[in-house]
C-alpha cells in the first residue's frame, strides 16, 4: 500500500503538465505546433515573441513531455509529442470556453460574430466529392505543406485579396484554417462575400480535422 509521500510525489509529477499549460503563449505555441513541426525562429515570428522567450517556453513544454525535437544539421525543429497532446490542448480550450464566460466574450471579440455560414466536416466531404465546393486552405503555405485536407487549394489569407480570380465563380468556397480559434477563415469568408462570392467556413479547422481521424494530405502526397 502506497504511503502519503509517494502519493504526493505522483501528483506533483502530474502537476508538471498543468504548470506547463499555465501560460497563454505556451498554449498558442501548442496550437501552432498542432499544424506541424516548426523551428524556433518561425514559431517566434508567428507568435509575436522574441526567439529567446520562445525557446524558454518550448523548453518548459519539453520538460513536461508535451513537445519533442528533431535536428537537421544545425536546425532544431519542435513538434507535439503525440496526438494526445493535440487532444489535450483542444480539451483545455473547450473546457475553458464552456465554463468561463470571459473566454466566450474574448473569442467573439477576436473572431467576430458568427454570422457567416458554417459547414460540418461530413457535409464538406460529401459536397467536395460531388464537386459542389472548392475547399480553400488560408493558412501560411508552410502549414499547408505540412498537412491539409485532400484536394484543398492553398491561398494564404494575406494573398487572398489579390488572388480571388483564381477561384471558380460558379461553386461555393469553403475556407478553413488552423482550428476553432483561428481568425483566418473568418476573414476569408468576409473578404469573399464582400466580393460577391458565395463562401462558408469549415466547422472548426485543421486541428479538429486531424483529431477526428479524417484523411490528411502532405506535400509529398
Structural domain boundaries in the chain: 4-87, 114-211
Instruction: Label residues 183-220 b or e (16+ Cβ within 10 Å = b).
Output: ebbbbbbebbbeeebebbbbbbbbbbbbbeeeeeeeee
The arrangement of secondary structure in 4-87, i.e. its CATH architecture, is Orthogonal Bundle (1.10)
Neighbours of 175 (CB within 10 A): 29
Task: Verify whether residue 182 is a known catalytic residue.
Answer: no
The whole-number pLDDT of residue 74 equals 84
Asked if 4-87 and 114-211 have one fold, the answer is no
Q: Looking at beta carbons, which pairs linking 72-80 to residues 24 or more positions away fall under 8 Å?
A: 75/39, 76/39, 76/40, 77/37, 77/38, 77/39, 78/33, 78/37, 78/38, 78/39, 78/40, 78/43, 79/33, 79/36, 79/37, 80/30, 80/33, 80/34
The whole-number pLDDT of residue 79 equals 97
The whole-number pLDDT of residue 220 equals 62
Decide if 68 contacts 30 (C-beta within 8 A): no
DSSP for 125-159 reads HHHHHTT-EEEEE-S-HHHHHH-B-TT-EE--HHH
What does the pLDDT profile of the chain (221 residues) look like in tens digits? 668 999 999 999 999 999 999 999 999 999 999 999 999 999 999 999 999 999 999 999 999 999 999 998 888 999 999 999 999 999 999 999 999 999 989 999 999 876 668 999 999 999 999 999 999 999 999 999 999 999 999 999 999 999 999 999 999 999 999 999 999 999 999 999 999 999 999 999 999 999 999 999 997 65
Decide if 69 contacts 190 (C-beta within 8 A): no
Q: 177, 189, 200, 206: which is the annotated catalytic residue?
A: 177
Decide if 217 contacts 149 (C-beta within 8 A): yes
Indicate the fold that domain 114-211 takes in CATH. Answer: Oxidized Rhodanese; domain 1 (3.40.250)
Decide if 28 contacts 38 (C-beta within 8 A): no
The whole-number pLDDT of residue 1 equals 61
Amino acid at each position: 500500500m502506497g504511503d502519503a509521500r509517494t502519493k504526493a510525489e505522483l501528483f506533483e509529477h502530474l502537476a508538471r503538465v498543468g504548470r506547463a499549460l499555465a501560460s497563454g503563449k505556451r498554449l498558442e505555441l501548442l496550437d501552432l505546433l498542432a499544424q506541424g513541426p516548426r523551428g524556433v525562429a518561425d514559431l517566434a515570428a508567428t507568435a509575436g515573441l522574441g526567439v529567446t522567450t520562445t525557446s524558454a517556453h518550448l523548453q518548459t513544454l519539453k520538460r513536461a513531455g508535451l513537445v519533442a525535437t528533431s535536428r537537421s544539421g544545425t536546425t532544431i525543429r519542435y513538434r507535439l509529442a503525440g496526438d494526445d497532446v493535440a487532444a489535450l490542448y483542444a480539451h483545455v480550450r473547450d473546457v475553458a470556453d464552456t465554463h468561463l464566460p470571459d473566454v466566450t466574450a474574448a473569442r467573439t471579440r477576436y473572431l467576430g460574430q458568427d454570422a457567416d455560414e458554417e459547414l460540418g466536416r461530413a457535409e464538406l466531404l460529401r459536397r467536395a466529392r460531388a464537386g459542389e465546393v472548392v475547399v480553400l486552405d488560408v493558412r501560411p503555405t508552410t502549414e499547408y505543406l505540412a498537412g491539409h485536407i485532400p484536394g484543398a487549394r492553398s491561398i494564404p489569407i494575406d494573398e487572398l485579396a489579390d488572388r480571388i480570380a483564381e477561384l471558380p465563380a460558379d461553386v461555393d468556397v469553403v475556407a478553413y484554417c488552423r482550428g476553432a480559434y483561428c481568425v483566418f477563415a473568418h476573414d476569408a469568408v468576409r473578404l469573399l462575400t464582400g466580393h460577391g462570392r458565395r463562401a462558408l467556413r469549415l466547422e472548426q479547422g485543421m486541428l479538429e480535422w486531424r483529431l477526428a481521424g479524417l484523411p490528411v494530405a502532405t506535400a509529398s502526397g
